[in-house]
Amino acid sequence: MKSVREYGTVEKRPSGRYRVRIGKKHGATTLGTYDSRTEAEEALQSFIKEQNIEETKYKNIPSDTTEKPWASIGLDGGEIGTGILTEPLGSDWTAILLSFGLDPDVFEVADDKVRMSKWQSSKRLENGDRDLIWLYSYRATFTRKKGSWVTKADIDEIRKSIRKFKPTKTVNKSKELPSTFVVLWADWQLYKSAAGGIKASTERVLASFDATAKRIQDLQKLGRNIEQIAFVNMGDVTESCDGHYASQLFSVQGTQRQQLLTALDLWTTGVVSLADFAKKRKFISTLSNHGEWQRRGGKQITTDSDNADGFLSDALQRIMQGYGLIDDWHVPHDQMSMQVNLSGVECAFTHGHKITGKEFEWLRGQTLRLLRDNKVEPTVWFTAHKHHLKVDDFGVFTRFQCPSLDSDFTTNGGSKWFTDMSGQFSAPGTLSLLIGRHDPKCWSDMAVL
C-alpha cells in the first residue's frame, strides 16, 4: 500500500521495506528505505520540518491511491466517488462536481442521498508524536436538476395578468330555439416546455378567452338564442411532472403545485369572465392520462379517481360555491366517459386516452354502455388527446375531436415524438360550437378559436 501526499510518499516495497520519495514540487528524489512504516513516516516528517513545508496547504487531498476520486457520467447524471479525504465534505458538492467538469447549476446530488465512510488513521504531529486522525470517503448519485425554468417572479406576473383579464360583454335577445354554447378546453398541458413554455401557453389561453367572448357576441348578433354556456375540461390541463415520457422530469418547467395553481387561476378567470354571456352555466370535466398522479414505470398505480382533473374540478367547485357562476357541475369520480344533456341533446365527453382499436367501434361500444346506464344514448361525442381537430359523422352520432393549445403554428410545438415519427403537426386552437335542437344536426356554428 502506498500513502500518497503532495509533498512525498511512503511505499512498501516487495522486499518488505518502506521507501520514502519526495514529491515533484520538492525534488522528486528517494529519501531512503526503512525497515518499518513508522521509521519511514518519521523520516518524511523530518524532511518536512527541515524544508519548512506547510502541510496545511495539502488539506483534504486523497491519502491512499487505492481509492482515487472517480466518476461514472451519463447524459442525465451518474455516480461520483471522492476517494479518501482528510476533512469532512459537508453538504457542498460544488468543488467535486467542478473537478469532473460538471456544472453545479445543472447537476445535483439525487434525493440528497450520500453514502459515507469514516475511519481513523495514524499521523505524526509537528512535535514528533503520533496521533489518530479521521479520514473520510463519500459516494453519491447525481442527476440533472429538476428545478423550474420559471422563476417565482415569472409566476407572480403570470397570475397577475390572469387576474387582470376582462373581456367586453354584450347580450342580445333572440327568438330562435335555445342552444348551448360549448367551449372545450383541451390539452393545455401547462408548464410543458415546448412552444414557448408556460408564458406563451398562458398568453394563448387568455387570448382564447377573449376570442370566446367575441364569438359568443357574434353568434348572438346573428340571432342565436344562447341559453347557457358549457365550460368543458377535456383533460391534460397540466403537464404533470413524471412518468408519462422519458424526458419529462428534465423538460417540465414547473412543480406540480405551480401547475395546479396556474390551472385553477386560468379556469377561474375563464368562468368569471364569460359567465355573464348566458343565463345558465354548466361545468363538465373528464379524466385524462396527464392527470394521473401516481405513476411508476409509465403505468398508473392507483385508481382512476386519483386524477388532477378531478381534483381541480372539485377545487373550482369549492372556490365558486355561493357565487352563482355555475348552475350545474358534472365532475367524474372515476368515470372515463361523462354524459350530459345540453339544450335537449345528449352529449358524451371523454379525454380519449382509453380508446383502443378502431375508434368507431370503441365509441359505439361506449354508446351502448351509456344507453344501458342512462336509458338514453348520446347523439354527439367529444374527444381530445390527439391534439388536432377532427370531425366524424358516423350517422348514429357525430364525433368532435378537439385541437389543443400546446403548439404555436410551427413544427416545434405539440408532441415532438409524434412529429418526428409522422411528420404531422397541428395548429393551436380551442374548439367551440352550439349544441341544441335549433339545427337538425343538433349542432352548428363550429369554430376553432
pLDDT of residue 371: 94
The residue ranges of every structural domain in the chain are 2-58, 70-144, 152-448
> Whole-angstrom Cα distance, residue 441 to residue 449?
21
pLDDT of residue 244: 45
Report phi then psi at 38, rounded to 5: -60, -45
pLDDT of residue 203: 92
> Whole-angstrom Cα distance, residue 408 to residue 427?
7
In the sheet that holds 178-185, the strands lie side by side as 328-330, 280-285, 225-233, 178-185, 431-436, 443-448
Task: Quickly count: other Cβ atoms within 10 Å of residue 384's Cβ.
Answer: 28
Q: Residue 43: which residues within 8 A CB-CB, separation 6 or more?
A: 20, 31, 32, 34
Amino acid identity of 109? V
User: Is 413:419 a contact under the CB 8 Å cutoff?
Assistant: no
Closest CA to 403 of 381, 420, 382: 382
Amino acid identity of 379? T
pLDDT of residue 125: 58
Which parts of the chain have pLDDT scores under 70?
1-7, 24-27, 53-67, 75-76, 111-113, 122-132, 145-152, 168-174, 240-252, 294-302, 412-422
CA 164 to chain centre: 27
> Whole-angstrom Cα distance, residue 377 to residue 382?
14
> Whole-angstrom Cα distance, residue 140 to residue 13?
34
Alpha helices in 77-196 (DSSP H): 94-99, 152-164
C-alpha R_g of the chain = 33
State whether residue 314 is helix, strand or coil.
helix
DSSP 196-265: THHHHHHHHHHHHHHHHHHHHHHHHHTT-EEEEEEEEE-S--B--SSSSSTTHHHH--S-HHHHHHHHHH
Closest CA to 102 of 147, 146, 144: 144
pLDDT digit string, tens, across residues 146-167: 655 556 677 777 777 777 777 7
pLDDT of residue 248: 45
> Whole-angstrom Cα distance, residue 252 to residue 241?
6
pTM, entire model: 0.63
> Whole-angstrom Cα distance, residue 243 to residue 423?
25
Superfamily of domain 152-448: Metallo-dependent phosphatases (3.60.21.10)
Closest CA to 85 of 105, 104, 101, 61: 61
- Side-chain half-sphere exposure of 202, counting CA atoms within 13 A: 26
Going by the DSSP 8-state scheme, the letter that residue 15 receives in this structure is T
**With the CA atoms of 175, 178, 179 and 180 taken in that order, what torsion angle do they form, in degrees rounded to the nearest 10?**
110
